[in-house]
Amino acid sequence: MSTSAATASGVRAPSLAEAAWLVARREVRTRLRSKAFLISTGILVLAAFAGIVVGGILSANPSRTKVAVTSDVPAAVAQQLKASDSFAVRTVEGRADADRLVRSGAVDAAVARASGPLGFRVIAKTDVPEGLVGQLSVTPPVSILEKSGQDALLRYFVALGFGLVFFVTATTFGSAIAQSVVEEKQTRIVEILVAAIPARALLAGKVVGNSLLAFAQIAVLAAISVIGLTITGQGRILATLGGPIVWFAVFFVFGFVLLASMFAATGALVSRTEDIASTTTPVTMLVMAPYLLVVFGNANPLLVGIMSYVPFGAPVGMPLRLYLGTAQWWEPLVALVLLIATTAGMVALGARIYERGLLRMGSRVPWREALRA
Amino acid sequence: MIELRGIEKHFGGRPVLEDVGFRVHGGRMTGFIGGNGAGKTTTMRIILGVLAADAGTVEIDGTPIDAGARRRFGYMPEERGLYPKMPLTEQLVYLARLHGLDAARARRSTDDLVDRLGLGERRDELVEKLSLGNQQRAQIAAALVHQPEMLVLDEPFSGLDPMAVEVVLGVLRDYAHAGSPVLFSSHQLDIVERLCDDVIIIAQGRIRAAGDREKLRESHSGLRYELTGTSDTGWLRGVPGIRVVEFDGDFAVFDADDGAAAQAVLRRAVELGDVSGFTRRRPSLAEIFKEVVQ
């Protein structure tokens, strides 16, 4: 030991990048060791997969309307119903049988012979069976001049998907960063760390480590979606969703770094884990806003249009617009430039707040002091 | 040698350190003593660059200190803490690597230190699972694992059991013998008295005394003497310029007005019988501390 006391001269000081990488590796390793993290990731992946599979099954087997048709109905009518995928046709003897089946709920509706120009009537229990009536009516030809890209339900689910994945991933890893910043302050190991490496390296390492994990999670989810859609035979959705998913991933990379630096900076303002919420709440709100907006406002083109340019909303808004086909080719590029510029500015500001807050122990550092030049 | 000059620090307008300057010599153990809030921790944080001074300089062998030099310090902060949910050796290797050791070297240094500090059986346990005493040892390992060239330790002995104190002492002595400057603060004046070559006393943000321990004791000695002989020392009472403080048959403690009066007493004692002891009494560190801090 006495020989090792003064022999550190051969030690090479780690560069900023090397120090940051060491920190990042520790972050990843620590997170991967946490059971809570592994479980929540597993649940997220399972939920995504289950959603796709269930969606596939539902769309592959749309429920058919059960219809009883009396044997004396004009043959053309019975033929027309039997030819359609939407109806399960069952032939019955006469009107009495038809009425009985409708009353008992064994069929949804019946078609029976009747006097009048059509020669048949529709029998239902309480409500007019719109689908059946539509099928048996003469509809005028319709020309749609501007086709809406996707149907409303699917749009809702795509919006929900992007919003939810962004929200869950960003809050999971964002709060993990804030936690780990405060943990270092609370245990005071931060004094040893900043005596060894610059605070910037520490911050960069945290952001990089957690970002890598977040990206990995997004990549796994994307892969699960693609695999799930393929094996459930929903390739058509994949064709329209593939591009937006790639854009989502690109936007997510920068959007997450933006949020990560904000979580780190706000985490550095407090000294105890219990106080984290008091400063990170505004950031959490920023993450939640695009999620809520997209869930409740995905049908509002103006709202989604604005959202697709605001840096916090772009990772959700722009992929959605791309999916709907309402964005020009250059629009995601402009939004991306805006996002990157905001991220660069926020990383610089976040680093300053972080360095300032890191060694302030005790009560919460007021925003005014944290932001003062 | 670590040298501080003219260090000033204010917290919110309140001066915490005023014109603090001292030297920590290589190869010597330097004790840093002062009451709570005297400025010990702030001074150490400034040496390590964890805090910035408002004024003044810190130099290593005449060169202003920079980040590279600070990496060669072993630092133990006042408030202890390691990552609670990280295994001991993994944590030590991590800290060693942050200080620039390569992977193999970090691993070797960790193994050596863990064995030396008696943590061998706990090497893969999470830090939060260690007993309090073992956590203290782990903290010391964290300060030393990167094989530093200089040590700055804030209260390294607080919370240690007597066996651990001996182990840590051994490690610090090894560093001093190898030529490293070793600075540590302590409340336990008896430990500082026993261990330190140099002593620095700080109070209210100012250095009150600094230097070689024995010289310090010398310079703070009054003219108080102890006399032990074979004859009854009652005669001392009548000697001019002498005041007896304590008296017990052939043993006496007295204050002299000057050195000549004390020497006269010694001559007289030798005339009257055998003298087995005649010593100028030196104050203990605790006494000096009390004196300079007031």
CATH (domain of B248): 3.30.70
Rounded to 5 degrees, φ, ψ at B148 are -70, 165
Closest CA to A195 of B66, B138, B269: B66
Digit-coded pLDDT (tens) for A200-250: 899 999 999 999 999 898 888 888 888 888 887 777 777 777 788 888 888
Do B231 and B213 share a structural domain? no
Do B163 and B244 share a structural domain? no
Domain end call among B167, B195, B218: B218
What residues of chain B lie within 8 A of the CB of A26, using their CB? 86, 94
What residues of chain B lie within 8 A of the CB of A187, using their CB? 81-84
End-to-end distance of chain A based on CA atoms, in angstroms? 47
Vertex A330 angle, CA A328 and A336, to 5°: 120
Closest CA to A266 of A167, A342, A353: A353
Q: How much of chain B, in percent, has pLDDT values that exceed 70?
A: 100
Give the model's pLDDT for residue A63: 66
> What are B275's strand-pairing partners?
B229
Do B247 and B140 share a structural domain? no
Q: Give the residue-averaged pLDDT of B269-292.
A: 86
SS3 labels along chain A: CCCCCCCHHHCCCCCHHHHHHHHHHHHHHHHHHCHHHHHHHHHHHHHHHHHHHHHHHHHHCCCCEEEEEECCCCHHHHHHHHHCCCEEEEEECCHHHHHHHHHHCCCCEEEEECCCCCCEEEEECCCCCHHHHHHHCCCCCCCCCCCCCCCHHHHHHHHHHHHHHHHHHHHHHHHHHHHHHHHHHHCCHHHHHHHHCCHHHHHHHHHHHHHHHHHHHHHHHHHHHHHHHHHCCCHHHHHHHHHHHHHHHHHHHHHHHHHHHHHHHHHCCCCCHHHHHHHHHHHHHHHHHHHHHHHHHCCCHHHHHHHCCCCCCHHHHHHHHHHHCCCCCCHHHHHHHHHHHHHHHHHHHHHHHHHHHCCCCCCCCCHHHHHCC
- Answer for the pair B233, B227: CB distance below 8 angstroms, yes or no: yes
Give the model's pLDDT for residue A362: 67
What residues of chain A lie within 8 A of the CB of B146, using their CB? 8, 11, 196
CA-to-CA dists, residue B189 to B154, B185, B285, B287, angstroms: 14, 10, 7, 10
Lowest mean pLDDT among A43-57, A176-190, B17-31: A43-57
Q: Which domains does chain A have, with CATH numbers?
A: 65-136 (3.40.190.10), 150-371 (no CATH)
Residue of B nearest to A16 (CA): B98
Domain end call among B218, B240, B262: B218
Of B48, B100, B147, the CB nearest to A7: B147
Do B283 and B146 share a structural domain? no
Digit-coded pLDDT (tens) for B43-90: 998 998 888 889 999 999 989 988 888 888 999 887 777 898 899 999
- Which of B147, B152, B182 to mutate: most A Cβ within 10 Å? B147
B142 touches chain A (CB under 8 A): yes
* pLDDT, chain A, mean: 83
Q: How much of chain B, in percent, has pLDDT values that exceed 90?
A: 38
What is the ipTM metric for this complex?
0.79
pTM: 0.77
Do B226 and B212 share a structural domain? no
Range of the domain at B261: 222-293
Do B194 and B134 share a structural domain? yes
Do B166 and B42 share a structural domain? yes
Rg of chain B (C-alpha set): 24
Rounded to 5 degrees, φ, ψ at B55 are -155, 165
Closest CA to A190 of A11, A361, A16, A17: A361
Do B203 and B122 share a structural domain? yes
Rounded CA separation A248/A222 (Å): 10
Residue B83 to residue A30, Cβ atoms within 8 A: yes
Do B283 and B186 share a structural domain? no
Closest CA to A157 of A71, A74, A52: A52
Instruction: State the CATH number of the domain containing residue B186.
Output: 3.40.50.300
Do B23 and B51 share a structural domain? yes
Element (H, E) at B67: helix B67-70
Digit-coded pLDDT (tens) for A137-187: 877 877 777 655 556 677 777 788 888 888 888 888 888 899 999 999 888
Rounded CA separation A265/A258 (Å): 11
- Number of domains comprising chain B: 2
- Answer for the pair B97, A22: CB distance below 8 angstroms, yes or no: yes
Give the model's pLDDT for residue A40: 86
The type of residue at A46 is: L
Give the model's pLDDT for residue B111: 94
Those residues whose C-beta lies under 8 Å from the C-beta of residue B279, and which sit 6 or more positions away, are: B225, B226
Do B264 and B195 share a structural domain? no
Of B79, B116, B180, the CB nearest to A5: B180
Those residues whose C-beta lies under 8 Å from the C-beta of residue B121, and which sit 6 or more positions away, are: none
Relative to beta strand B182-185, strand B29-33 is parallel
A59 touches chain B (CB under 8 A): no
Do B24 and B103 share a structural domain? yes
pLDDT: is B133 or B151 the higher one?
B151
Give the model's pLDDT for residue A3: 36
> Quick one: B247 exposed, middle or buried, by C-beta within 10 A (0-12, 13-18, 19+)?
middle
